[in-house]
Structures are given as C-alpha cells and as structure tokens.
Amino acid sequence: MYLDFLKAYKQWLDDGAVQGRPFTRDNGLCINLLTYLGSHEPMFEHALHRRLKHLYGDTEYPFNKRSSRHYVIESNKARCHLNPDRNAFVEAEIERLS
C-alpha cells in the first residue's frame, strides 16, 4: 500500500496535481497518505515516518527546513505539491521499492 500511495501521488503530480481527492495541494505526504488510505493505517504511517526519520532525522517538517513556519506558509498557499524536496523523496522511494 505504501508503494501504491507513492505511485498514485507521483501520478497525481504528473497529471497536474488537480486539487481534491485523492490528494490536496495544501497538505504534505502524511495527511495525503491518510486521505488515500481512507482510514487510519498505523503500519503505513510508520513506514513513511521511519523513512523520513532515517533520511532526514525529522518526521514533522523534513521538507521545510525543519520548521513549522515554512510548512504553514507552503500549506496556506496550497503549494505543498510543488516542494522539490518532497517530490524528490517520492521519486526516490518509488525507485527504491520498485
């Protein structure tokens, strides 16, 4: 499911990141993962958090200079989907898991 989510997120980006289900522009990967799954799935959330912790040492704001301020600005402008670090992570994870 984790890989399916990453592939679906990447496809959404490639298709122009149209706002709405299954993904939103104003949320990062964690919230979009929950939306994609349609329910709380701790196993998949933990998989994402483990990778973020391993790669960035941070699970809260790894793509935003480890700052809630940067994430809030990005989110308020509905630009989370444009974050190059987030998108590079998605692509690298797809390659690693494929």
Q: Is 34's pLDDT higher than 90?
A: no
pLDDT > 90: percent of the chain: 63
Q: Please, are residues 3 and 90 in contact by the beta-carbon 8 Å criterion?
A: no
Q: Is 40's pLDDT higher than 70?
A: no
Q: Is 41's pLDDT higher than 80?
A: no
pTM confidence score: 0.90
